[in-house]
Amino acid sequence: MKTKLIRTGKLIDGKEVLAIELTNSLGTYVKIYNYGAIINKFIVTNKQGEKQDIVLGFDDIDQYTNESYLTNYPYFGAVIGRYANRVKNGRFTIDGQTYQLSQAKGGDCLHGGDIGFDRKMWDVLSTIDPSVTLQYVSEDGEEHFPGKLTVQLTFKLTDENELILDYKAETDQATAINLTHHSYFNLAPQGGSIAAHKHRMPASNYLEQDDNYVVTGKLIPVEGTHHDFLAEKEIGKDWDLNEGYDQSYVLDKQYGEFTLASETREENSGLKLSVYTTEPVAHFYTAKYLDVKGGKEGKDYHSFGGFCVETQHHPNAINIPAFPSTILRPGEHYKQTTIYKIEHHS
């Protein structure tokens, strides 16, 4: 079990991009950049005994800042903040004060604004085998959010093939916060469509969205709909061929309880990815908008070529009082734990 720090020589915002490599006793290998806290590689051993990378991304750090990539930007493997998903009209009010965020296509704020935590340089605070703690300080007014927010994220790789993400945050002024991670997974040895992956989510309800994918506040039972993943099924079994899935599922749990969010299996690799979280919601996205040229080993990535399980609080909760609060105040401590666990399935 070890942690290795590698200098890339690439500078962003005057800081050098570092690669942090985590390796466990099973030979599982995770590579993380301090740019965007990006999970660049997640290499595991499949049932054939082959090494297999289960996350989408690039071979070279330069490709993550390429203009063509950012034009149709899928947030490969990055942390999302200060506020995940969409905020209606890019606007919210705290203690009588209204804040106007930047607005993306459709007029809503997406994934923290024009340049969110996914494109920031994080400081490497510590490396303790086999883990790394990154920190980013978001200044008051960044992307028009109030308060200076200090965020720490620790990645730890265990000998149980768990990649643990522990988030902590504090603020000096009441602010809105909803963090998540945006890794795209594909468990098939050769990649391609994830339609045949088998997926299960212990979620009896999903959140209604308007025409621009913004959560409205209404819960809809999954029973009798194509959104029902209470029992395992192939991802492509019931989906809309044009849309796939891009929904927030409310997990069946007590608020704050650490439980399973999803299980996904693939037959050819024999791999199973289980996601566990303290968060109340898992947003399931099957990459409808994915269109990236020249990914790892020169592969092009297309629609439905990966899936994301984005653990978080209810999207747009800052504007929906009935949802669990996403307001963080001075003296309070934001905490979240999400685990990606890889196993072989029978």
For the segment 226-259, what is each residue's pLDDT rounded down to a tens digit? 999 999 999 999 999 999 999 999 999 999 999 9
Spell out a b/e string for 5-34, using b for 16 or more CB atoms within 10 Å of the CB, else e: eeebebebeeeebbbbbbbbeeebbbbbbb
170 labelled catalytic:
no
Which two tokens mark 70? 């950012």
The whole-number average pLDDT for the span 313-327 is 98
Spell out a b/e string for 74-94, using b for 16 or more CB atoms within 10 Å of the CB, else e: bbbbbbbbbbbbbbbbbbbeb
302 labelled catalytic:
no
* Per-residue pLDDT reduced to its tens digit, 163-201: 999 999 999 999 999 999 999 999 999 999 999 999 999
User: Of 266, 310, 313, 314, which residue is the catalytic one?
Assistant: 310
**What HEC string does 116-136 produce?**
CHHHCECEEEEEECCEEEEEE
Confidence tier at 345 by pLDDT (50, 70, 90): confident
Can you list the alpha helix ranges (DSSP code H) found in the chain? 67-71
Q: Please check the confidence at residue 275 and state whether its pLDDT lies above 90.
A: yes
User: Of 111, 182, 197, 313, which residue is the catalytic one?
Assistant: 182
**According to the model, what pLDDT value does residue 2 have?**
84
Which residue from 305, 331, 308 is spatially nearest to 180, judged by alpha carbons?
Answer: 308
Residue with tokens 């390429």: 66
Q: Where are the domains of the chain?
A: 2-344
pTM over 0.75: yes
Note the CATH architecture for domain 2-344: Distorted Sandwich (2.70)
